[in-house]
Structure 1
Amino acid sequence: MKYHRVDSQLFVENRKRLMEKLKPKSVVVVHANDILPTNGDGTLPFKQNSNLFYLSGIDQEETILLLAPDFPDEKMREVLFLRETNENIAIWEGHKLTKKEGLEISGIKNIKWNQAFHQVLGSVLAESENIYLATNEHIRSVNQVQGANDRFIKWCQEHYPLHNYDRLAPVVYGLRMIKSSEEIRLMEHACHITEKGFRRVLEATTPGVWEYEVEAEYAHEFLVNRSAGFAYSPIIAGGSNACVLHYLDNNQQLKDGDLLLMDVGAEYANYNADMTRTIPVNGRFSKRQRQVYDAVLRVKTVATEMLKPGITIPEYHQAVGEVMEEELVELGLIDRTDIKNQSAESPAYKKYFMHGTSHHLGVDVHDVGSVYRPLEVGMVLTVEPGIYIREEGIGIRLEDNILITENGHKNLMRNIPIHAEEIEDLMNK
């Protein structure tokens, strides 16, 4: 991988916290993601299973993690299975992890080749009662492809039908919601790389540039700073394209007088940044653009102040909606009659602000965890209000990444320019 090796103590502590929450005489099994095919003999770039990375730090295919904290033989309480390499694999695919490297990365002392997995599993399960298995339980997931963990669930239940089965997701998701100091350091570094990309784009953006050229500027800056690239498919949306919430074409030319909305973030060591900025293509906001921009920024400022321990995301979204409502009235987009006649299911502000304000952020961009769990110290969330006026071709969203602290919050993107005057100054220096 491109990133500097992460301290193995992060993964040692993650496993320790997980094992403390398991039932007695339990086993945890997590498989790596598959390398997915495209067409012919092509494949997509490998992306590790988030839970496996969180618990081991291993970023390689065909990896299996087995945890059995109560097993009588201490050596078998943590076992990592790696793909055994050979000369042919080395020639065609390159280096694969050695057992020594697996230990250095994960902190797991018992490393075996993955062909030993079934034999070891049988020995461990003979002394166990509960099996925790990994499923993708993200509330926004659409599982259309059967992965290694899905296949193993079916196999395991067929071969060991009398054990008790438990879901790993609720346990590990609850842990992943709270970030350690090392995780926060990695996320701040991803934000720093994102800042470098944004500052580069401020210098490169001018009328006539194409959206994909802006995308390329980010890609260059991310890669030269040891990022694997974009944390998610980038949105580079000029003019009315910014009113398409998940615009991904990035193939239009930027025009004088238009705005450019950019929802991008760098990945670093599998941890993610998620930034949105909106800038004037010609370096100067028009009067109307500035009115809307300042309204979004005010909502973002108030919304950020609301992010404190104790509030739930549904409560928070409702409160932010009320703030946005007032800004839209001032902009002349809705009026008091619209508000009076609105329903709880379809508030008036939703015509111009259709999405939520925040989501958890971490190893996944839309990170896991219950939205009904009150915010706690150590959680990291986005704050991303927006106003989209299709009839005027104006779409503005502003987004930072916020760490919940004992005293309120810390902005991990505090050094990325966001105020209109600073953006104009940087674009015209």
Structure 2
Amino acid sequence: MKYLPINNEVFTVNRRNFVSRLKPCSLAIFNSNDEFPRSGDQAFLFKQNPDFFYLTGIDQEQSILLLFPECPNPLYKEVLFLRQTNEHIAVWEGHKYTIDEAKAASGIQTIYWLSEFDTILHSIINYAENIYINTNENDRYAHTVPYRDIRMLETLRSKYPLHKYERAALIMRDLRVVKSSIEVELTKKACQITRDAFLRVLKFVKPGVAEYEIEAEISHEFLRQRATGNAYSPIIASGKNAIVLHYVDNNAVCKDGEVILFDFGAEYANYNADMSRSVPVNGRFTKRQRDVYNAVLRVMRAATKMIVSGTVLNEYQEEVGKLMTDELIGLGLLDKHDVAKQDAKMPLYKKYFMHGTSHHLGLDVHDFASRYKAFEAGNILTCEPGIYIPAEGLGIRIENNILITESGNIDLMADIPVEADEIEEIMNG
């Protein structure tokens, strides 16, 4: 791993919180992610299952966590199973966790090689009434591939059909959304690396530069500072490309007079930043570009004030929609008389601002959380309003990451330039 070691106390506390919510006489199993083939002889770069990492801090494939707090054999109350390395693996794939290294990373003291999992599980599973299996219940995920946890569930149901099977995801959804102080610090680090990449890009952008060249500058800065890489495929969208919300081709040449919409973030220790900015290719906004930019910025600042404990996502989005509607009227994009007659279920502002304003952020960029539960202290959310005008080939989005605390909220990207004047000053400095 490129990132520096993490205090294993965070994972110990996470496990303690998880098992405290289990039904009596329960056993829970968590799997690492699958390895996915990329070609005939290669796999994609491994990315750990976020729930598994949340509970273990282990960033390695073919690993299993077993939790059985009431196990009659105290040795197996908390067990980590790892892939055993050998000389062949060491030569071809490199270093794997030793038992001592895994203890230091996870705080788990009982560690076995994966080859012993079936024997140990069978020796204790019949003393449990309930078996908790982890499934991906993020509502942005469409289940089409039977991943490791699902395959294990099918195997267990075949071998142990009379046990009661429970969903670990119900517990994880409540736990992961509230960030500990260590998780906040890791997110701040991702935001800081993202800031430095943006400052680098501001000094690099000029007419004639290609979007992919800008992407290369971002990746350079990320990797230089120990980030794992991009939190998601970066969006470098100049001119009309900014109208495409998830534009990732990044293959156009940036032209004089256009605005570039950036949407990128660093991933550090599996925690993510998510930032959007919009900048003029030539270093100067036109009056119209600046007017649209400032409208989006005003909405973002007003929306940020609403991201506090007790806010409900759907109600929040409705209020942001009202703010955006007023700005669009001011820009001449909507008519106030048409707005007065609009269908409340299909508000007119969505023609120019068609996505949500905020989502939870953490180990997943769109983090695992309930969209129906009120915001609470410890949540980190994005705030990302935008205006997209196809007829003008102009798209503006501004996005920061907001931490909710007991006394209000903290903008984790407050030190990233966002005022139009500041952006222009840096680009022309």
For residues 170 and 422 of structure 1, what CA distance do their matches in structure 2 show?
44
For residues 112 and 342 of structure 1, what CA distance do their matches in structure 2 show?
63
Matched, 1:125 2:125: yes
For residues 224 and 143 of structure 2, what CA distance do their matches in structure 1 show?
34
- Deviation at 1:380? 0.2
Structure 2 equivalent of residue 351 of structure 1? 351
For residues 140 and 365 of structure 2, what CA distance do their matches in structure 1 show?
12
For residue 210 of structure 2, what is the amino acid of its counterpart?
W
Matched, 1:148 2:148: yes
The DSSP-based 3-state class of the residue aligned with 2:150 is helix
Structure 1 equivalent of residue 273 of structure 2? 273
For residues 213 and 338 of structure 2, what CA distance do their matches in structure 1 show?
41
The DSSP-based 3-state class of the residue aligned with 2:127 is coil
The DSSP-based 3-state class of the residue aligned with 1:409 is strand
Structure 2 equivalent of residue 428 of structure 1? 428
The DSSP-based 3-state class of the residue aligned with 1:196 is helix
The DSSP-based 3-state class of the residue aligned with 2:39 is coil
Write out aligned runs for 1:89-104 (5 A): 89-104=89-104
For residues 95 and 403 of structure 2, what CA distance do their matches in structure 1 show?
37
| Deviates most, 239-248 or 120-129 | 120-129
| Deviates most, 292-301 or 64-73 | 64-73
For residue 97 of structure 1, what is the amino acid of its counterpart?
Y
Structure 2 equivalent of residue 60 of structure 1? 60
| Deviates most, 332-341 or 130-139 | 332-341
For residues 88 and 370 of structure 1, what CA distance do their matches in structure 2 show?
45
For residues 27 and 345 of structure 2, what CA distance do their matches in structure 1 show?
44
For residues 379 and 187 of structure 1, what CA distance do their matches in structure 2 show?
12
The DSSP-based 3-state class of the residue aligned with 2:79 is strand
For residues 376 and 390 of structure 2, what CA distance do their matches in structure 1 show?
37
Matched, 1:407 2:403: no
For residue 57 of structure 2, what is the amino acid of its counterpart?
G
Write out aligned runs for 1:30-41 (5 A): 30-41=30-41
The DSSP-based 3-state class of the residue aligned with 1:401 is strand
Structure 2 equivalent of residue 363 of structure 1? 363
| Deviates most, 120-129 or 275-284 | 120-129
The DSSP-based 3-state class of the residue aligned with 2:404 is strand
The DSSP-based 3-state class of the residue aligned with 2:43 is coil
- Deviation at 1:23? 0.5
For residues 338 and 381 of structure 1, what CA distance do their matches in structure 2 show?
33
Write out aligned runs for 1:30-429 (5 A): 30-429=30-429
The DSSP-based 3-state class of the residue aligned with 1:204 is coil
For residues 345 and 77 of structure 1, what CA distance do their matches in structure 2 show?
52
The DSSP-based 3-state class of the residue aligned with 1:360 is coil
For residues 343 and 75 of structure 2, what CA distance do their matches in structure 1 show?
60
The TM-score, its normalising length taken from structure 2, stands at: 0.99
The DSSP-based 3-state class of the residue aligned with 1:178 is coil
For residues 133 and 327 of structure 1, what CA distance do their matches in structure 2 show?
48
For residues 173 and 103 of structure 1, what CA distance do their matches in structure 2 show?
26
For residue 15 of structure 2, what is the amino acid of its counterpart?
R
For residues 143 and 371 of structure 1, what CA distance do their matches in structure 2 show?
19
The TM-score, its normalising length taken from structure 1, stands at: 0.99
For residues 5 and 355 of structure 2, what CA distance do their matches in structure 1 show?
36
For residues 372 and 144 of structure 2, what CA distance do their matches in structure 1 show?
27
Q: Runs of 5+ in structure 2 lacking a partner?
A: none
- Deviation at 1:75? 2.0
- Deviation at 1:134? 0.8
For residue 192 of structure 2, what is the amino acid of its counterpart?
H
Render the CA deviation track for 1:156-176: whole Å, top value 9, x for unaligned. Answer: 111111111100111011100
Matched, 1:23 2:27: no
For residues 293 and 127 of structure 1, what CA distance do their matches in structure 2 show?
62
For residue 403 of structure 1, what is the amino acid of its counterpart?
L
For residues 283 and 179 of structure 1, what CA distance do their matches in structure 2 show?
38
Percent of aligned pairs with the same residue? 53
For residue 193 of structure 1, what is the amino acid of its counterpart?
I
For residues 242 and 43 of structure 1, what CA distance do their matches in structure 2 show?
32
- Deviation at 1:336? 1.5
- Detail structure 1 runs of 4+ shifted over 6 Å in the superposition: none
For residues 242 and 338 of structure 1, what CA distance do their matches in structure 2 show?
27
- Deviation at 1:124? 2.0
- Deviation at 1:50? 0.6
The DSSP-based 3-state class of the residue aligned with 1:126 is helix
- Deviation at 1:345? 2.2
Render the CA deviation track for 1:261-291: whole Å, top value 9, x for unaligned. Answer: 0000000000000000100110000000000
- Deviation at 1:39? 2.3
For residue 262 of structure 1, what is the amino acid of its counterpart?
F
Counting matched residue pairs gives 429
The DSSP-based 3-state class of the residue aligned with 2:387 is strand
- Deviation at 1:41? 1.6
For residues 360 and 99 of structure 2, what CA distance do their matches in structure 1 show?
34
- Deviation at 1:142? 1.4
The DSSP-based 3-state class of the residue aligned with 1:350 is helix
For residue 331 of structure 1, what is the amino acid of its counterpart?
L
For residues 212 and 65 of structure 2, what CA distance do their matches in structure 1 show?
40
Render the CA deviation track for 1:49-74: whole Å, top value 9, x for unaligned. Answer: 01000000000000000000111222
- Deviation at 1:344? 2.4
